[in-house]
Structure 1
Amino acid sequence: MKPFTFDQIPTMMKKLHDRLDHLERLIIKISFKEENKNELLNIDEASKLLNLSVPTIYSKVSKREIPVNKQGKRLYFYRHELMKWIKAGRVKTHLEIRNDIEKKVIKP
């Protein structure tokens, strides 16, 4: 980094402040994601998140189709586990399937 003159101090302070502001926003964003990752939902909250009725969720729980935590008679769901469960049901496109096949065939 080059030395700067006295006249450049305000500009340098502004840049420094902007960078610190950016870092602070990133830290808050990351910590918010971590908090949400461990967020515990009850069945009504899980129902709203998944846009499924409560009886449908009870059915999926009894068939062991959905990740759940049970304490006594109460059911609890971790938000990140439900999101992972939703993503696991993603159907690949024809292009993705073709690319997967090409990777396997080309792989030495």
Structure 2
Amino acid sequence: MHNPFEAIDRRLDNLEALLVEIVEHLRGSTSSNAPEMGGIELAQEITRLSKARLYALVSARQIPHAKRGNKLYFTRAELQAWVTSGKRASRGK
């Protein structure tokens, strides 16, 4: 007996494999172009905060950073974790 859903299952499997390939490609292209470590510009890009606000957070030691001489350094992973940790629970309506 022929399964009428067999063709649909094959097509869905092909679509799923294609989507996985596209997502892996997109993740690889963004991470290879983006610097893992950077200065205040990287922090601005990730947090969307002004330089003045970032300097205030650094001064209060409320944002992950490293300092070497007069230069501030931020890592993408630490900043993303910092932003994520500040998420608030959504209100139930």
For the pair 1:61 / 2:61, whether they are aligned, the reply is no
Question: Counterparts of 1:36 and 1:50 in 2: how far apart (Å)?
Answer: 18
Q: Following TM superposition, by how much is the alpha carbon of 1:35 offset from its aligned partner in structure 2, in angstroms?
A: 4.3
- Cα deviation digits, residues 3-60 of structure 1 (max 9, x gap): xxxxxxxxxxxxxxx9xxx687666556556647861121123123321111110110
Counterpart secondary structure, 2:73: strand
* AA of the residue aligned to 2:62: E
Measured at CA, do residues 91 and 36 of structure 1 come closer, stay the same or move farther in structure 2, by a change above 3 Å? Answer: farther
Question: Counterparts of 2:29 and 2:89 in 1: how far apart (Å)?
Answer: 30
In structure 1, which of residues 77, 81, 99 is the aligned counterpart of residue 78 of structure 2? 81
Residue in structure 2 matched with residue 71 of structure 1 by the alignment: 68
Report % sequence identity: 31
Residue in structure 2 matched with residue 93 of structure 1 by the alignment: 90
Measured at CA, do residues 87 and 24 of structure 1 come closer, stay the same or move farther in structure 2, by a change above 3 Å? Answer: closer
Is 40-49 or 50-59 further displaced after alignment?
Answer: 40-49
Following TM superposition, the consecutive aligned residue runs of length 4 or more in structure 1 with deviations greater than 2 angstroms are 22-38
Give the TM-score normalised by structure 2: 0.60
Question: Counterparts of 1:85 and 1:36 in 2: how far apart (Å)?
Answer: 21
- Which structure is larger by alpha-carbon Rg, 1 or 2? 1
Give the TM-score normalised by structure 1: 0.53
Question: Counterparts of 1:28 and 1:69 in 2: how far apart (Å)?
Answer: 31
Structure 2 unmatched ranges of 5 or more:
1-13
Measured at CA, do residues 92 and 35 of structure 1 come closer, stay the same or move farther in structure 2, by a change above 3 Å? Answer: same
